[in-house]
Structure 1
């Protein structure tokens, strides 16, 4: 249960930091929502199938950055 809360916190920090640094231009709330959604998805995927990068923190960071790269570019033309 604590891993889930830590995942959400880390994903929120990654979303905020990516917007603050200029990596994305989605807006703060949108970037945080994208990161948290990707982290939730990867967290449950890891729990169901046992696939991951070792620690819950690395999983959250990788999933957040992956979601930030995939989601906005998918909707752009």
Structure 2
């Protein structure tokens, strides 16, 4: 659980650093952590995953950044 939060935070930071998103550092980190938590609980409840927990955290964080459309706002 703690590793998921750390990996999601790193993905959120790197997405802003590389200008993949333009939300701001804190909103991107919050979006990534929320997506990672959601997918973590889905994995626990239904057993669905992409392999290792680290890969699940990375994929779910990137997916949350893509799904949440804050980077299209001006």
Show structure 2 runs of 5+ residues with no match: none
For residues 41-67 of structure 1, the C-alpha deviation after alignment (integer angstroms, 9 at most, x for no partner) is 000000000000110000000000000
In structure 2, the partner of 1:63 is 60
Residue pairs, 1:29-68, within 5 angstroms: 29-68=26-65
Q: Structure 2 length as normaliser, TM-score?
A: 0.93
Structure 1 ranges of 4+ moved more than 2 A: none
The CA RMSD measured in Å over matched residues stands at 1.2
Q: Structure 1 length as normaliser, TM-score?
A: 0.89
Q: Structure 1 residue aligned with 2:18, among 3, 14, 21?
A: 21
